[in-house]
Chain A
Amino acid sequence: GAGVSQSPSNKVTEKGKDVELRCDPISGHTALYWYRQRLGQGLEFLIYFQGNSAPDKSGLPSDRFSAERTGESVSTLTIQRTQQEDSAVYLCASSLVPHEQYFGPGTRLTVT
């Protein structure tokens, strides 16, 4: 079956612009997670959805970051007024059981 998909795969944007990253989870997966991975670094948790609610958004680095999920399906991560330190790969994962997360290929964001 189809896995987790993310779009765009690559995004280059100018500092100060807003970007929107999309995640389509595996159909039926109730939980959805967003992570950030900087070059050579580990995964940094951003936010977690159970259904359309976000019980844990503790990892969002600033109020420039927001995320929503609709229809217990697609999720968008929005970064406003992008900064160079936002450059990273943004990974989305979905799961039926919390520990078995299936990751998408990621969106590589470069802020120039």
Chain B
Amino acid sequence: RKEVEQDPGPFNVPEGATVAFNCTYSNSASQSFFWYRQDCRKEPKLLMSVYSSGNEDGRFTAQLNRASQYISLLIRDSKLSDSATYLCVVKGNTGKLIFGQGTTLQVKP
């Protein structure tokens, strides 16, 4: 079983739609979680951290469910520029980051 699992998609949604991505992780002792974004043929960039109480950054909301070992990212009012691959990331025991395979989002006009 992979340490971090995501549905690769692609998710094809119209502009203005709300879309949610999920991610599960295998190590129940994991403490820190993040979402990164990777545009096509570009390097990944930190999108946001995920806090236990849930957190919002503009149109983006991240949530953590420790009991189910599940992380989610919700994007409201999708823009064309949101088209990218979203990487779920868990911090491992040695401090390294463990990246999921990514979920691809295509926002259509």
Contact = CB atoms under 8 A, between A and B. Distances in A.
Interface of A: 31, 33, 35, 41-43, 45, 48, 50, 55-56, 58, 91, 98-101, 103-106
Contacts of A42: 87, 99-102
A33 B97 CA distance: 9
Nearest to B102: A42
B96 A48 contact: yes
A103 B87 CA distance: 14
Contacts of B95: 31, 48, 50, 55-56, 98
Given A42-B101, A45-B98, A99-B91, 20 more contacts: A33-B96, A35-B99, A42-B99, A43-B44, A43-B87, A45-B96, A48-B94, A48-B95, A50-B95, A55-B94, A91-B43, A91-B44, A98-B95, A98-B96, A98-B97, A100-B46, A101-B46, A101-B97, A103-B45, A105-B43
B57 to A, nearest CB: 14
Contacts, number: 52
A95 B98 CA distance: 15
B106 to A, nearest CB: 15
A40 to B, nearest CB: 9
B25 interface: no
A4 B89 CA distance: 20
A99 B47 CA distance: 11
Interface string B33-51: 0100000001111100100
